[in-house]
Structure 1
């Protein structure tokens, strides 16, 4: 008879939990998902290295239908109690927002019912008492008060082509919450999802379910860039096939069901050009507005006219950054966000790229600059006598050496990392972007000589630059590498491989700041893009400390008074407050491609002085990392490692015990790597200081407990001096001596794998099978390697504990 205590957690699932589900009538093919992945594991960045933290995975997620998770089970082996997994399960349930939670050790189930009508939230069930899927579903339906018609819509399946591409947990939540809200007749919905989290795929699944259920028969999807429309049609929306069309050439073909259009393609200042009026006001049942924080957010914009004309349609706004100012409000129109998935959540879950910040303060930015009395600029203009500060630079005053120094620091960073990493430099205005382009060209003359498109200015007024925008975005295109810009690339640019964002722009708008940061948050593993760096010259990253950066949007809209948006003029153009002019006439001209305008350039009273003979220096430079709580911290690699190890091990002795008993030392190294302990970077840093090469064991003891490290060679020599090999026969002794030499040269990871026996010098001892037979078999060989490892480390365990200095705040006994 099987002894449950000897079974693994996976055995408990296979032998007891899954059979209990089958007995209760659950379909294990369509309704039961084992080892369901919730997250991918946060990417941890230190120095030039990255690692993924352990991902979150639920032992069982139970679906009533493939799109509706309703319960989860956390399993433990039988050495745990029946409820030991409950608190872990409740954390997962919070993420998935499911009402029914179970934990089990194979003896039965502890059931946590979040919607228990009798107030008894937790109770135990025997294995054979697990509730059926229909039972749980009816409990939930009754709790939410859904009728049969609403139920039909809510249970409509999402689209699946049989591939692995299914909605992530947060996408499922956004989709299901939206469908249920529409089932309850809610007609204005706002979804806030960070850039790079799949808003378009989420929108497609919402539209698919509403369309297939015939709840919505004619649907309009609005975006503001042609490339976004075209990519959407060929990628996420492709399953709509012949039912889908793109509105263009100002012709309204009413025979389709799914319509995609640019805002600009369906409106204009002249009545006959308003193509949307060729449709009756009740033609569309559903309108989805992508990036709704832009033109449609303003109450008096021409784009808002479209939404108000089709006011009877259900309207869903999608945005990463809802716009909330005194003059413009998404919430005023759509209502509070139905669902929010923030940048911080995306980074923490490992779906978005984290960032590190390099803050560079320049002396003139910090202290300001005042011209000498009567000083003239390079063009002979007398400079007004006052103190010029960071807000003035590149607007009313240009310090040419400052521009050159910024370009030099950017180029130095790329030389230290990769000179072909895609880089966006955000400048104050078009003139600044052009001067920055020239400075970067001179700093990178060798690569510009190979290809003049290595550095390009991509701004709305420059046709050559705009023509290269798609090449900058596409991962396959090598050039351009560095793009200088002002407003053009602030948003709507899906730069998957952008690894460096440079801020030399005074940014006051939180919406604009979040959009700029969003240019770097996409992960592209095929091209080695796991994180990005922000080089900040103008203190813009202080916005990270603002609670509004990743908090819930708050409505501050005042319909009357306050700053009003500029109304459209007679030419049909309007300004959005960021110096960007939107043309309402030409559907082929998109919101970021019209033209950028610097209001100061148009105001003849504003003079821009250009000074060439002022020295500018770096006052301070520091690297900051995004920590687990979402704060930017300035911390060295050693400090971070020390804290990570303190969380993992109570004392030096605790670490030594774990190291000694580990079947493979590499397993501990891998676990620590998941916590962001980068042994290669530590070895480089400590080795650079000492000129020696150290083992991970010694790096840990040295960094965390200040123990003097030994080199691998020193450790190997100590084992040889103790005549450790005399217990083995001559052939086995020669193999172990060779393993010891390999350890001294290359480290622990290599000697733990039997594949090492296939290379020199082991090949001269025979085949791997012959070598293993020398030890009496595979188990005996592995035991000999394990004992060799212990010989490398165990001998000085007690002396290390005795010599270990007391840690700050401790009791002076690190071995206790």
Structure 2
């Protein structure tokens, strides 16, 4: 094949005819060691208004992934057609190699290979080019991978232990595989304290299951303890991700650790307590467990004098693996100091950028009494007749010291206003200051919901640590198949560990200063559930909690800000994070002894609202869907003339529509804002370039008024007129597919084949007629 012919080939042809044969010649086993067209990430979801769409332009898609064994990826290859240089795809390949932890990246255009080696030998270049027939074999690249990750020969059996496959085709996502591999490598190298940081919603438990599976199957860990601090976490794990362990697994109960089992799920509270007889973990020897996994290790287990830590100290010879979405680093508590730096981190920001986690929009609401403050008149009494302390009350006091019943009603009404305007049955969590506030908010929501709450008393439930009825509904709330409860009012109970996949609204009427708690709360909405059309979530903030988004700590690397020297005196621990601020239902303000002040007669109103969206750079931006569309269209077509030329020259307008969809511009969404009667062409011209739009019917009528059809025979005119009517009804995509000729209105003229061949003289003639019809529809004269 000469070079001219080669340049006519597609990228896929280049792979089939040149790159794949070269890889096979080097000794790589097809299907076992070579995978083609591997999707690594689906692309981020973009949200504007109530509209959402994936930005497919940012989808990560590797042309080739090379593996030594299943689950052990060691190299990536990016292919380009022959109109590009050999190394043109290298930067793309390096991006994939970076997130996959690979030392070897290659690029090819079918002429040769370009190579990037992260561990070159002395005197070797990092990047070189070489002929197709000299592509390195599996052993060479495996040895390079081992050198890059410092894997000894003696580690190989453990490293290469297969992960669990259930037969459904489900495999770990790229970051889960990285977390598994980095953890197993740490164990292989003898590390005994390991920390894994993965954002809420990224599958920590599934990843942990795969880690345990590999260690258990390889007999590196025969007995394993998985520690959680909430019953629901243990129960979810038992029946979901850990189910494949079958009869080898048990949940510790009846105050007994049963040595007949190998995988033990245990609540901290079930293993220990204040009295010596409560410490049932001491009923087995300190060497009983080979591996102890600490779920949500940012909480109490991080503190040195925590009762939970005594379990870890007792089983000190075991490997300790800490799991968290939010490593806790304070003056007194440090999970990193205990576990060392994370072996792998997958952040919320990265998860959203990849498209595995749901982005969010924020509705910031300022209430006048919060912002302007409120001061009682002299001698004013509260609802109980007690005189109110004369001072200025503001946002920090609301519902902790001062309870304005009208303010509570205002919040509830605003929440229900949003739900009724979007989806009254969207799962919603309202975070309140304490149990008392959560109960009052439940009542206010009932009144604001009206008929919805009358028809089902479980429409809104208070789910707090003290409520037996509420906690009994927690499983129903997090079950996507269960319609009720729709709204949960809570304080602390649902901040973490609650896998509410379909939660679409998080309401913050709670003062939040802790970054750890804030991250956990945001994590309640971060899951995507495509089966239930959950692609993003909304945060409604009444207490300025979302100001924490601006803090560099929100999605930055965890840093040890205090590490005591050996000579430092002991320091008191942070207050424990409990299920609720006031588990006994007390009305004291955070335990200070200050009684709450209840007042019914003071009004409250919304002073200001601002809607912000997550921007491409991770910062919050104020931008409408129209603004977003204009920006994306003009990035692709700088001027109206540029767009008109591309639109006119496109063989099919669908090509341009699909291109915009890749940027996250869904024209159906735009039509909902501008008008459903407008076609794609006018939507783009109006929103991006400020042109006055014509409806589809107006454009169709303009064509009918001209003498355009006289050039065609009677049957051709009949077909084109019917296509014109279809455009007026459905838009341009409705006339570009020949399948429309199967519709009943064309049956009297003939079958699709008879119309194309008999009426228009073949496919080329038919396509030309469609192109001319579109030119008439979008004639420049219709543009002002």
Q: What TM-score bracket applies, with the shorter chain setting the length?
A: over 0.9
Deviation at 1:551, TM superposition (A): 0.7
Task: Answer with 697-706 or 288-297: which moved more.
Answer: 697-706
Residues 21 and 549 of structure 1: is their aligned pair in 2 closer, same or farther, counting only changes over 3 Å? same
Q: Which residue of 1 aligns with 2:25?
A: 23
Among candidates 778, 788, 806, match of residue 763 of structure 2: 778
Q: How far apart are the structure 1 equivalents of 2:441 and 2:642?
A: 55
Residues 561 and 755 of structure 1: is their aligned pair in 2 closer, same or farther, counting only changes over 3 Å? farther
Q: Which residue of 2 aligns with 1:89?
A: 93
Matches within 5 A, 1:291-302: 291-302=296-307
Q: Which residue of 2 aligns with 1:5?
A: 7
Among candidates 481, 486, 500, match of residue 476 of structure 1: 481
Q: How far apart are the structure 2 equivalents of 1:709 and 1:455?
A: 45
Q: Which residue of 2 aligns with 1:454?
A: 459
Q: Which residue of 1 aligns with 2:180?
A: 175
- SS of match in other structure, 2:538: strand
Q: Deviations over 1:235-265 (max 9, x none)?
A: 2222223322222212222233222212222
Asked if the contact 2:682–2:693 (Cα under 8 Å) also holds between the matched residues in 1, the reply is yes
Residues 474 and 596 of structure 1: is their aligned pair in 2 closer, same or farther, counting only changes over 3 Å? farther
Among candidates 402, 406, 410, match of residue 397 of structure 1: 402
Q: How far apart are the structure 2 equivalents of 1:57 and 1:330?
A: 35
Task: Answer with 210-219 or 124-133: which moved more.
Answer: 210-219
Asked if the contact 1:374–1:382 (Cα under 8 Å) also holds between the matched residues in 2, the reply is yes
Residues 135 and 399 of structure 1: is their aligned pair in 2 closer, same or farther, counting only changes over 3 Å? same
Q: How far apart are the structure 1 equivalents of 2:504 and 2:337?
A: 36
Q: Which residue of 1 aligns with 2:604?
A: 616
Q: Which residue of 2 aligns with 1:516?
A: 521
Among candidates 499, 511, 516, match of residue 504 of structure 2: 499
Q: How far apart are the structure 1 equivalents of 2:665 and 2:356?
A: 21
1:735 correspondence with 2:719: yes
Q: Which residue of 2 aligns with 1:545?
A: 550
Q: How far apart are the structure 1 equivalents of 2:683 and 2:465?
A: 52
Residues 679 and 460 of structure 1: is their aligned pair in 2 closer, same or farther, counting only changes over 3 Å? same
Among candidates 783, 791, 801, match of residue 776 of structure 2: 791
Q: Which residue of 2 aligns with 1:139?
A: 144
Asked if the contact 1:488–1:596 (Cα under 8 Å) also holds between the matched residues in 2, the reply is no
Q: Deviations over 1:398-446 (max 9, x none)?
A: 1111111101000000010111111111111111111111111111120
Q: Which residue of 2 aligns with 1:811?
A: none
Q: Which residue of 2 aligns with 1:489?
A: 494
Could you tell me which runs of 5 or more consecutive residues in structure 2 were left unpaired when the two chains were aligned: none
Matches within 5 A, 1:221-236: 221-236=226-241
Q: Which residue of 2 aligns with 1:683?
A: 671
Matches within 5 A, 1:246-257: 246-257=251-262
- SS of match in other structure, 2:747: helix
Q: Deviations over 1:731-776 (max 9, x none)?
A: 0111111111221222112111223223243233233232223112
Asked if the contact 2:436–2:585 (Cα under 8 Å) also holds between the matched residues in 1, the reply is no
Q: Deviations over 1:664-716 (max 9, x none)?
A: 212322321232324234333334xxxx8322222222222222322222322
Task: Answer with 245-254 or 141-150: which moved more.
Answer: 141-150
Q: How far apart are the structure 1 equivalents of 2:762 and 2:618?
A: 52
Deviation at 1:144, TM superposition (A): 4.4
- SS of match in other structure, 2:357: coil
In the alignment of these two chains, the number of paired residues is 775
Task: Answer with 644-653 or 331-340: which moved more.
Answer: 644-653
Among candidates 448, 462, 470, match of residue 465 of structure 1: 470
Q: Which residue of 2 aligns with 1:719?
A: 703
Asked if the contact 2:33–2:68 (Cα under 8 Å) also holds between the matched residues in 1, the reply is yes
Deviation at 1:546, TM superposition (A): 0.6
Among candidates 128, 133, 154, match of residue 128 of structure 1: 133
Q: Which residue of 2 aligns with 1:40?
A: 42
1:363 correspondence with 2:374: no
Among candidates 499, 508, 526, match of residue 531 of structure 2: 526
Q: Which residue of 1 aligns with 2:65?
A: 61
Q: How far apart are the structure 2 equivalents of 1:158 and 1:536?
A: 42
Asked if the contact 2:293–2:320 (Cα under 8 Å) also holds between the matched residues in 1, the reply is yes
Task: Answer with 549-558 or 439-448: which moved more.
Answer: 549-558
Matches within 5 A, 1:271-350: 271-350=276-355
Q: Which residue of 1 aligns with 2:691?
A: 707
Asked if the contact 2:651–2:771 (Cα under 8 Å) also holds between the matched residues in 1, the reply is yes
Among candidates 268, 272, 281, match of residue 273 of structure 2: 268
Q: Which residue of 2 aligns with 1:694?
A: 678
TM-score, reference length from structure 2:
0.95
Q: Deviations over 1:69-102 (max 9, x none)?
A: 1111111111212111111111111121211111
Asked if the contact 1:580–1:596 (Cα under 8 Å) also holds between the matched residues in 2, the reply is no
Q: How far apart are the structure 1 equivalents of 2:310 and 2:263?
A: 20
Q: Which residue of 1 aligns with 2:637?
A: 649
- SS of match in other structure, 2:403: strand
Q: Deviations over 1:535-557 (max 9, x none)?
A: 11111111111111111111224
Residues 598 and 44 of structure 1: is their aligned pair in 2 closer, same or farther, counting only changes over 3 Å? farther
Q: How far apart are the structure 1 equivalents of 2:269 and 2:750?
A: 75
Task: Answer with 58-67 or 252-261: which moved more.
Answer: 252-261
Deviation at 1:315, TM superposition (A): 0.7
Residues 422 and 747 of structure 1: is their aligned pair in 2 closer, same or farther, counting only changes over 3 Å? same
Task: Answer with 770-779 or 337-346: which moved more.
Answer: 770-779
Among candidates 608, 625, 628, match of residue 637 of structure 1: 625
Deviation at 1:599, TM superposition (A): 7.5
Q: Deviations over 1:112-162 (max 9, x none)?
A: 112112340111121111110101112332454433212222222222234
Deviation at 1:601, TM superposition (A): 5.3
Deviation at 1:562, TM superposition (A): 9.6
Asked if the contact 1:359–1:623 (Cα under 8 Å) also holds between the matched residues in 2, the reply is yes
Q: How far apart are the structure 1 equivalents of 2:527 and 2:611?
A: 21
Asked if the contact 1:35–1:58 (Cα under 8 Å) also holds between the matched residues in 2, the reply is yes
Asked if the contact 1:460–1:596 (Cα under 8 Å) also holds between the matched residues in 2, the reply is no
- SS of match in other structure, 1:163: coil
- SS of match in other structure, 1:272: helix
Task: Answer with 436-445 or 219-228: which moved more.
Answer: 219-228
Q: Which residue of 1 aligns with 2:576?
A: 576
Q: Deviations over 1:184-234 (max 9, x none)?
A: 111111111001101111111111112222222222111223332233233
Asked if the contact 1:487–1:578 (Cα under 8 Å) also holds between the matched residues in 2, the reply is yes
TM-score, reference length from structure 1:
0.92
- SS of match in other structure, 2:269: helix
- SS of match in other structure, 1:220: strand
Asked if the contact 1:579–1:599 (Cα under 8 Å) also holds between the matched residues in 2, the reply is no
Asked if the contact 1:51–1:674 (Cα under 8 Å) also holds between the matched residues in 2, the reply is no
Deviation at 1:652, TM superposition (A): 2.4
1:99 correspondence with 2:103: yes
Asked if the contact 1:579–1:596 (Cα under 8 Å) also holds between the matched residues in 2, the reply is no
Residues 763 and 307 of structure 1: is their aligned pair in 2 closer, same or farther, counting only changes over 3 Å? same
Q: Deviations over 1:304-336 (max 9, x none)?
A: 101011111111100111112222111111111
- SS of match in other structure, 1:179: helix
Q: How far apart are the structure 1 equivalents of 2:225 and 2:680?
A: 58
- SS of match in other structure, 1:761: helix
Q: How far apart are the structure 2 equivalents of 1:225 and 1:577?
A: 12
